[in-house]
Structure 1
């Protein structure tokens, strides 16, 4: 296909691929963000996202936390390349495959296992999010034929289920289970939060109304429901409490992935973004229309402002919910 018959995202990807192959963009250099691509080529953000996803699947670029999307290179070589002869794109892609723990393209498929596929997929999702995940991309990173992973995993949806169960297998509970219901719920919720912190993409799985039948997720529910057993709560109430605490962890963890995505799109850290918004916030707080907001935010010293820490917000919310549950268990009708 040539000319206008080529989809815009493929045309833009080809232009960026040429920049990488020609050395204009060296290993470690930032490539344009989705917003920059949208502005430079006058396309929608969705199209810009497909451009970067295509280049990631080819192993040419990768996401770096708090930096953005950069040209892939050998581990530890995320800096501009010297002004000698530039590496061809194929060499850059091979280095990216090696970084993922696989061999170069053409490796024997008999080395492939389901566990290896799942571990490679988790590594992709941890660093780049679920949107960057594809069966073809995983095959490329592992250096095997494009269709080889399908011998071990039926589809991308099945792969995501395997990834999620492997992640939930990392849930770590106290060796001596607390007898007190509250301490047991705290331990379970904190374990779930730790896993979501390690794998932020977990927060973007299916909705609560469509639960996933995963052994290690059911094991988590078993831990939480055991804490509520014997308190006189109706079965529906027990499940509601389990869902409430799970959704609270999931809802808070969503912002971990969103922050990573925002950092990649804009190239700005959270602190840098807030600095860029300072004038807009100052205009709002000095307008006189929001006196309480102005009073609260104005109470911080210039050099000691408010820092939003999700771990602290999580603990505040968990404590508040369990305080309310304690009142419900102690004084309300458990049968609803």
Structure 2
């Protein structure tokens, strides 16, 4: 049976979307453009776009028109698998390589598809959208450096090891710290294992459950907070060709003039002796944090004590 005109038009536009010729965010032909190209009435053109909108393939944007939806439904053939782990792994690795080199701002499904040499829409069989892709990237980053099966002796050594591993991951993947959010945490199993590791390290030390959880999340958040500028610094170095240390050296004369005004006497008294770096700040803060936790542990009441 011959399809009605609106269905034929919708089928052609659907094919272009599924083939990646029209990517998420691209404008699709307007009703006026459809009437001119296919020689149909305005009502038929409207019906074709309505059919695509009901399928979730397009959406209306005020002031712009009708565009390809950001989240397109998966297109499956009888032999395709909705979540082929091998293809998904390739997608995640390609996205991580792009993010490591350029950050996540310009990371799009189209860019990842181009790196893999496949149509953009085919990615949606394996990853729902950019948000899910970044979640998978975060989990894969933590999975890349797993915690040891046999932890070192002592709670402090265990927490220092976990923190050091997290710090290395943030340096290896500059986008990683910014991808995390403690207010709305990503439920990534390999990242959550660091919280589990910290909780296990603090078990049986007299600390109550609330204190242990706060300590575990605080340490995780501290390391992430110290690394939050990693991506910004990486991009600044990449674009300017000047490292952070070189930039600070270039500010020497300006800093000297500022301190010579005498308005910051305490700052001036230590400026020449202090040697700050991202690593020294991280190490100092972690040591201070763990020293405070050690005090908590020493003063904790033993289990079962009645006050």
Per the normalisation by structure 1, the TM-score is 0.61
Larger Rg: 2
Instruction: Report how far residue 307 of structure 1 moved.
Output: 5.0
Paired with 1:191 and 1:172, the residues of 2 have a C-alpha distance of 9
1:202-281 correspondence to structure 2 within 5 Å? 202-281=176-255
- Please list, as runs of the form range in 1=range in 2, the aligned pairs for 1:142-161 lying within 5 A after superposition: 142-161=116-135
Gaps of 5+ in 2: 1-83
Give yes or no for contact 1:174–1:187 (8 Å, CA) kept in 2: no
Instruction: State the shift of 1:134 in Å.
Output: 0.6
Q: Look up the match of 2:153.
A: 179
SS at match of 1:130: coil
Q: Deviations over 1:107-137 (max 9, x none)?
A: xxx9x81111100100111111111211011
Structure 1 residue 289: Cα displacement = 1.1
Q: Tell me which residue corresponds to 2:76.
A: none
Q: How many residues align?
A: 219
Higher relative contact order (CA 8 A, sep 6+): 1
Asked whether 1:292 is paired with 2:260, we answer no
Q: What does residue 294 of structure 2 align with? A: 326
SS of 1:131 mapped into structure 2: coil
* Kept in 1: contact 2:139–2:191 (CA 8 A): yes
- Report if the CA contact (8 A) 2:206-2:301 is conserved: no
Secondary structure of 1:113's partner?
helix
Per the alignment, residue 127 of structure 1 pairs with 101
Contact residue 193 and residue 253 of structure 1 kept, 8 A: yes
Measure, in 2, the Cα distance between the counterparts of 1:142 and 1:175. Answer: 35
* Counterpart check, 1:162 vs 2:136: yes
Q: Report the equivalent of 1:308.
A: 276
Q: Where do residues 30-45 of structure 1 align in structure 2 (5 Å cutoff)?
A: none
Encode CA deviations 1:291-323: one digit per residue, 9 max, x unaligned. Answer: 222222245xxxxxx653322322221111111
Note the aligned Cα RMSD (angstroms): 2.2
Offset from partner CA, 1:59-96 (integer Å, 9 cap, x none)? xxxxxxxxxxxxxxxxxxxxxxxxxxxxxxxxxxxxxx
* Deviation sequence 1:191-224 (CA, Å, 0-9, x none): 1111112112111124212111111122221111
CA distance in 2, matches of 1:200, 1:259: 9
2-structure distance, mates of 1:271, 1:215: 36
Are 2:85 and 1:117 equivalent residues in the alignment? no
Question: Which SS does the other structure have where 1:209 is aligned?
Answer: coil
Whether the 8 Å contact between 1:234 and 1:334 is mirrored in structure 2 is no
**Cα pair distance change 1:184/1:146, threshold 3 Å:** same
Determine the C-alpha separation between the residues in 2 that align with 1:161 and 1:233: 32
Cα pair distance change 1:172/1:146, threshold 3 Å: closer
Structure 1: 5+ residue stretches without partners: 1-109, 300-305
Q: Does 1:191 align with 2:165?
A: yes
TM-score of the aligned structures, taking structure 2 as reference length: 0.66
Q: Is the 8 A contact 1:168 1:195 kept in 2?
A: yes
Given the superposition, is the C-alpha separation of residues 310 and 274 from structure 1 closer, same or farther in structure 2, using an over 3 Å criterion? closer
Distance, in Å, in 2 between the alignment partners of 1:173 and 1:213 is 18
| 1:45-124 aligned within 5 A | 113-124=87-98
- 1:236 deviates by 1.3
Distance 1:185 1:272, change over 3 A: closer
